[in-house]
Structure 1
Amino acid sequence: MSRNAKVMHCTPEDVFDVLADGWLYPSWVVGASRMRDVDEGWPRTGARLHHSFGVWPMLIDDETVAEEFAPPRAMVMAATGWPLGEARVTLHVKPRGSQTIVRIQEEAIAGPVRLVPRPAMDILLRWRNAETLRRLAFLAEGRAARRTGEPVMPSAIPADESELPAS
C-alpha cells in the first residue's frame, strides 16, 4: 500500500472544494487525461466520475466511484483502470495551524495489478501520488488565494512523509 503526504497552504475546506468538483479530476490525478461525464450526485457515495486515461490514440475509458465523502477529514474512492485493475484511494485531510496536511493512500483491490510485487508497485505509486498531491495543492491553494485575496507563499515543505508529524 503506497502512502504520501503533503503540507498545503490552505484550509481543509479548500481541498474539499477541489475534490467535490468532479470536472477537475484530470487536473490533479496523474494519468487521468479527460472527463467524459460527472454523475449529478458527485461526490455522494456511489456517484461516478467517467474519465479516460492515457493519450490519444491509446485512451481507455474508465470511472471512479465515490465510496466515502466526509469533509473536512476524508474521501475514499474506487478508481478503475482496466485492463490493469482497480485501486482504492483514500485521502485524509487534517488542519495544522494555518496549513493542511493531506495524506493519500492507494492500494490495488482487483485485477492483474494485484500481481505486481508490492515493493515495485509502491515505488511507482509513490512517485505518481507525490505529483498528484502537488497538483491538488496548486488547485486548493489557488482557491485559498482567491478566497482570501492573499498570495500563497510556499514554505519549506518536507520531502517525504517521515518528516511530517504523526497522524
Structure 2
Amino acid sequence: MARNRSLIHSSPPEVWRLLSDGHRYGEWVTGTQQILAVDPHWPDVGARLRVRVGAGPLALDDTCVVRVSEPGRRLQLEAKAGPFGAARIAMKLTPWGEHTLFTLDWHPLRGPGTRMHGLPVDYFVRVRNGMMLTKLARIAVCEHTAAV
C-alpha cells in the first residue's frame, strides 16, 4: 500500500467541496487528461467518474466508482483501468485545528498491480500521490484565501 499525508491549510468542508466536484478531478489528479463523464449524484456511493488518464499519446480510459462516502470525512474509490486491473483509493479528512490532515491510501485490488505490489510500485505511486496532494492543497488554499 502507498500512503501519503499532507496538512492542507483549509478546513475539511473546503477540501470536501473539491472532492465532491467530479468535474474538478483533472485539476489535481496527476495523469488525468480529460474528464469524460461524471454521474450527477457524485460522490454518493455507486456514483461513477470516467476519465482518460495517461502521458502524451499513451492514454487509457479509467472508471472510478465511489465505494464509501462520508461527507466531509471520508471518500473511497475503486479505480478500474482496463487491463491494468483496479485499485482502492481511500481519502480521509481529519480536522487539524482549522486545517485538514489529508490521508491518501492506494492499494491494488486486481490485475498486475497485485503481483508487482511492493517497494518499486509503491514508491512510484507514493511520488504520484504526493504530487496530487500538493496540487489539491494548492487549489484548496487558493480558494480559501479568495473566500476570506
Q: Greater CA deviation, 55-64 or 93-102?
A: 55-64
After superposition, the CA RMSD in angstroms is 1.2
Residue 114 (structure 1) shift:
1.1
- String of CA shifts for 1:99-125, please: whole Å, max 9, x gaps: 211010000001111111411121111
CA–CA distance in structure 2, aligned partners of residues 117 and 46 of structure 1: 27
**TM-score of the aligned structures, taking structure 1 as reference length:** 0.84
Question: Secondary structure of 1:59's match?
Answer: strand
Residue 145 (structure 1) shift:
1.4
**Counterpart code for 2:14:** D
- Count, aligned residues: 148
Contact 1:17/1:140 (<8 A) preserved:
no
Question: Secondary structure of 1:83's match?
Answer: helix
- Residue in 2 that maps onto 1:159: none
Q: Are residue 26 (structure 1) and residue 26 (structure 2) matched?
A: yes
**TM-score of the aligned structures, taking structure 2 as reference length:** 0.94
Q: Are residue 70 (structure 1) and residue 70 (structure 2) matched?
A: yes
**Counterpart code for 2:144:** A
User: What are the within-5 Å matches in structure 2 for residues 85-100 of structure 1?
Assistant: 85-100=85-100
Contact 2:79/2:89 (<8 A) preserved:
yes
Whose strand proportion is higher, 1 or 2? 2
| Structure 1 segments (4+ residues) deviating >4 Å | none
CA–CA distance in structure 1, aligned partners of residues 102 and 65 of structure 2: 20
Question: Secondary structure of 1:102's match?
Answer: strand
Residue 98 (structure 1) shift:
2.0
CA–CA distance in structure 1, aligned partners of residues 49 and 65 of structure 2: 6
Contact 2:18/2:140 (<8 A) preserved:
yes
Q: Are residue 50 (structure 1) and residue 53 (structure 2) matched?
A: no
Contact 1:14/1:141 (<8 A) preserved:
no
State which structure, 1 or 2, has the greater radius of gyration over its C-alpha atoms: 1
CA–CA distance in structure 2, aligned partners of residues 5 and 120 of structure 1: 19
Percent identity between the aligned chains?
31
CA–CA distance in structure 2, aligned partners of residues 117 and 70 of structure 1: 28
Residue 56 (structure 1) shift:
4.9
Structure 2's unaligned 5+ residue stretches are none
Residue 142 (structure 1) shift:
1.9
Q: Are residue 38 (structure 1) and residue 38 (structure 2) matched?
A: yes
Q: Are residue 122 (structure 1) and residue 122 (structure 2) matched?
A: yes
Question: Secondary structure of 1:43's match?
Answer: coil
Structure 1's unaligned 5+ residue stretches are 149-167
